Amino acid sequence: MVKAAAETQLPTCCRYEGKGFFVPISLCSFFSSSSLSSTKNKDTQLNVYVSKKRFEIDLFASSFESSSTLLAEHLRHVRRQEPEWIPDEAEIDDDREIEDPLEEMHDWALRPFLPIFHEFAPLDPSQKYTLNDYLFAEEFHYTVQVVEEKLVPIYLSNTKRMQPSSVDYSSFSVYHPREVQVPISVDSAALPAIPRKLFIYRRPRPSFFKLVY
């Protein structure tokens, strides 16, 4: 069951297009959760939605050690994710703008996965998708290795995604995930990384969605 907070009408001017829902290759929506607990930890993890599938991709610094070039590139991207990172003057263009570090990292790290992503059909705009599709999406776990100076995806496992919680939800209304629709646009190729607006069965007004662990 899904516990929903009190519904709030979403103003028509509010559409979620912020960071964390970016489609660099017309196939994915993604968000990044990093295991960077200190400046000495250079491992990170990418979480990607492709159609109705979720990919969890671990990037371990040790996997890049056989290539000094790729290791340096990985460390550069990781360094640019750190809160205290300040861009060098050389990284700023003539318009005093810099490329989004998170988008740049995803473009680089996900490129070897394009053939895999292309195996999945895009979302069907005529179909109604629900929280059941989002919360319990089939999940594929990958990492990467360096082979002849190229990044190669390494498959680890796949599971059904479930995240139990000990939070007391007794004050919230209860809905089955199949009763809660996740709206998509006609050009959506994947479920949103984190849904922001939902429609509950037989309730005309949209509701905000917030994950609680």
| HEC-encoded secondary structure of the chain | CEEECCCCCCCCCCCCCCCCCCCCCCCEEEEEECCCCCCCCCCEEEEEEECCEEEEEEECHHHHCCCHHHHHHHHHHHHHHCCCCCCCHHHCCCCCCCCCHHHHHHHHHHHHHHHHHCCCCCCCCCCCEEHHHHHCCEEEEEEEEEECCEEEEEEEEEEECCCCCCCCCCCCEEECHHHEEECCCCCCCCCCCCCCEEEECCCCCCEECCCCC
For residue 127, the enclosing domain spans 28-85+99-159+175-208
Instruction: Report yes or no on 3 lying in a domain.
Output: no
Instruction: Report yes or no on 90 lying in a domain.
Output: no
- Beta-carbon neighbour count of residue 205 at 10 Å? 10
Quickly state the pLDDT bin for 25 (edges 50, 70, 90).
very low
| Alpha carbons 112 and 166: distance in angstroms, whole number | 38
**Residues 197, 18 contacting (CB under 8 angstroms):** no
Q: What is the pLDDT of residues 58-107, one digit of tens each?
A: 999 999 999 999 999 999 888 887 767 776 655 555 555 667 777 888 88
Instruction: Report yes or no on 69 lying in a domain.
Output: yes
Q: What is the pLDDT of residues 166-187, one digit of tens each?
A: 556 566 777 788 888 888 888 7
Q: What is the pLDDT of residues 120-155, one digit of tens each?
A: 888 888 888 888 888 888 999 999 999 999 999 999
Instruction: Report yes or no on 52 lying in a domain.
Output: yes
How many structural domains is the chain composed of? 1
Q: Which of the two residues, 13 and 20, has the higher pLDDT score? A: 20
Would you state the pLDDT for residue 192? 80
Instruction: Report yes or no on 23 lying in a domain.
Output: no
Instruction: Report yes or no on 81 lying in a domain.
Output: yes
